[in-house]
Chain A
């Protein structure tokens, strides 16, 4: 069966520090991968998605970047964190087009920038 791993679960980082959040998927090949952010409140905002190695689409201009160095690995990064980067970050995968397969989410990373 397929599983998705996301870490760390919580992170407290000072303003101006770098960020690296990692997400890996097991049990499938060539998944679509997504990074979402959930700010205070409940809405989910799509940040990046990837349909293959090295292919990244950015949905929202911001202080963050994403990379996909391996088929089942998706990394969210920042060179210098801002206070506004605080939030709950969720990785998700889909076996193909979301309108056919939907998403499976990871457990999330709670990032607090201080």
Chain B
């Protein structure tokens, strides 16, 4: 069936390096994607979103890239900091007007 998933369950990066978290989707009708950050014991927080009419969107230290040809999106975090350690989820309505479907998440660990 259709799904939103992540390539890797864990990612470790050195403090100050850039991080790239990937997400694959299979629903061709997907037109909106959101990245959430979830710190331990807390609810997910919105980071950045992108619509299918865009290839790239930038926020503060974060960039989301969307490749509709291969149905892939990525979250890039520049100059990763210890506070970036969290689980990152991509989410997608998968054609639904009522709910989002979440990937399984990637645990980002920032090493000192």
Task: Name A's B-contacting residues (CB within 8 A).
Answer: 6, 32, 34, 41-44, 46, 49, 51, 57, 59, 90, 92, 97-100, 102-108, 110
Contacts and interface: CB of A to CB of B under 8 A. Distances in A.
Interface of B: 9, 31-32, 34, 36, 38, 41-46, 49, 87, 89, 91, 93, 96-102, 104-105, 107
Contacts, number: 66
Nearest to B88: A42
A49 B43 contact: no
B4 to A, nearest CB: 11
A108 B98 contact: no
Contacts of A104: 46
B32 A108 contact: no
B100 A102 contact: yes
Contacts of B34: 102-103
